[in-house]
Amino acid sequence: MFLTKEEERIYDGERGWANQTCMKILVRLGELFDAEKLIPIDSAHVSGVSYKTLGDAPIQFLRALADADAKVQVRTTLNPQSMDSRYLAGKLPEHLKEQQLNILEQFEKMGLTKSLTCTPYYLHSPRKGSHNAWAESSAVVYANSILGAWTNREGGPSALSAALIGKTPDYGIHRAKNRTANVTVEVEMDIQNETEYGALGILLGRILGDRIPAIEGLPANSRDMLKQLCAAMATTGMTNMLRLGGTKEGEKISIESKQIKETIEELSTASTRQPDLVFLGCPHCSLNEIERIAQLVEGKNVKNGTEFWVCTSCHIREKAIDQVRMIEKAGGHVLDGVCTIVSWTEKLQIKTIMTNSAKTAYYAPTLNKAETILAQLEDCLKTALQG
């Protein structure tokens, strides 16, 4: 791999241990994927923030980088953590809270924005055609497909290394030739809601592997619906991008309503229709989604014995103060900066989760040891509320 003189000096350790380590990670990655050089990036998004999924050993590495004065070179956002300070921190054991704060402290020292969201594009939309280094698969597919920004699917360490160096290896979806659709998907049904978009994504992820689909037959798509499609497709497959319409050459795959229905049924593992938790906000809610939820809960109350959580970023929460108040008045909790999947719901005796997110329904049985009910937003709210 070609390195500039400046990059070589960093590689040789002239800019200290932290920069040298990050440069070595990027060069190793580039060599693995036959990249010829490093390219500058506009932004990075780092995953691996929740103490539940990170564990203890990586904290030592983060602390070593922070103590060595490593600083991000580009705007860098963080994925959600395991708890919020308003609600869950008060319910979970103190030592978990301490370690979670410890992780955040290291990231903050390195200059990462305490965004704590899997929808960083609501905070700042990346420039069309810009190169970025994002971890968080749902955001990667959304950025490439809907926003026209260019990013490979990074892991936590490679995204952090790219942030600290300000560059990423030039391979994969950073090359224009790798952004062309190579299979056509015809959706032979009238897709109606976010849950069906999610089920389509789960199905396509399994079928496509890492191929890029040109999807035909979707109705006029709202970005909130497409967000569910992107998140779910990244859950079961390695595809980093989809195209809406386009290519008709090559292989064609048809998706029928029966397959979508069966996928939703498969992702609903619970035998009961009465969940312990009704959860909306995977990926984190947009302002539109919060407004819609607030309208639907107005004048109603969350049922006794049921938890109702809406997850979003602190940025969207601040923009939606009135709507947050309406949801909380009804007895719901708007949790900012949290991902339910990487929180300790099992420690809160939550055994059944109802959600409109196919991604959550896919992961909850293993990561949260919970049974699932996958249903569209209106049905989730009908179950959570009375009155």
Q: Are 374 and 356 in contact (CB under 8 A)?
A: yes
From 179-187, 256-264, 278-286, 289-297, span contacting ligand F3S (CB under 6 A): 278-286
Q: What are phi and psi of 69, to 5 degrees?
A: 65, 25
Which residue type, as a one-letter code, is found at position 374?
A: L
Distances (CA, A) of 93 to 150, 159, 235, 277: 40, 30, 30, 20
How far is the C-alpha of 100 from the C-alpha of 83, rounded, in Å?
A: 8
341 is a site residue for ligand F3S (CB under 6 A)? yes
- C-beta closer to ligand F3S: residue 243 or 284: 284
Question: Binders of ligand F3S among 357-376, rule CB under 6 A?
Answer: 359-360
118 is a site residue for ligand F3S (CB under 6 A)? yes
- C-beta closer to ligand F3S: residue 53 or 268: 53
Question: Binders of ligand F3S among 36-55, rule CB under 6 A?
Answer: none
What are 302's strand-pairing partners? 385
- C-beta closer to ligand F3S: residue 215 or 285: 285
Q: Tell the smallest beta-carbon distance from residue 357 to ligand F3S (Å).
A: 6
How far is the C-alpha of 227 from the C-alpha of 276, rounded, in Å?
A: 26
Nearest to 22 by CA among 156, 175, 142: 156
Place of tokens 């329904």: 361
174 is a site residue for ligand F3S (CB under 6 A)? no
Question: Binders of ligand F3S among 191-250, rule CB under 6 A?
Answer: 231
User: What are 378's two structure tokens?
Assistant: 């209106």
Q: Tell the smallest beta-carbon distance from residue 283 to ligand F3S (Å).
A: 4
264 is a site residue for ligand F3S (CB under 6 A)? no
**What DSSP state is assigned to residue 143?**
I
327 is a site residue for ligand F3S (CB under 6 A)? no
How far is the C-alpha of 332 from the C-alpha of 308, rounded, in Å?
A: 5
How far is the C-alpha of 166 from the C-alpha of 159, rounded, in Å?
A: 10
343 is a site residue for ligand F3S (CB under 6 A)? no
How far is the C-alpha of 88 from the C-alpha of 137, rounded, in Å?
A: 25
- C-beta closer to ligand F3S: residue 283 or 331: 283
- C-beta closer to ligand F3S: residue 165 or 341: 341
**What DSSP state is assigned to residue 355?**
E
- C-beta closer to ligand F3S: residue 169 or 281: 281
Which value, in Å, is the radius of gyration of the alpha carbons in the chain? Answer: 21
Q: Are 334 and 327 in contact (CB under 8 A)?
A: yes
138 is a site residue for ligand F3S (CB under 6 A)? yes
Binding mask 288-317 toward ligand F3S (x if CB under 6 A, else -) reads: -----------------------x------
From 257-265, 282-290, 317-325, 346-354, span contacting ligand F3S (CB under 6 A): 282-290
Structure-derived torsion over alpha carbons of residues 380, 382, 383, 385, reported in degrees to the nearest 10: 110
Q: Tell the smallest beta-carbon distance from residue 339 to ligand F3S (Å).
A: 3
- C-beta closer to ligand F3S: residue 275 or 337: 337
78 is a site residue for ligand F3S (CB under 6 A)? no
How far is the C-alpha of 159 from the C-alpha of 29, rounded, in Å?
A: 11
How far is the C-alpha of 199 from the C-alpha of 348, rounded, in Å?
A: 28
Q: Tell the smallest beta-carbon distance from residue 340 to ligand F3S (Å).
A: 6
356 is a site residue for ligand F3S (CB under 6 A)? no
Residues within the interface to ligand F3S (CB under 6 A): 79-80, 118, 138, 231, 282-284, 311, 339, 341, 359-360
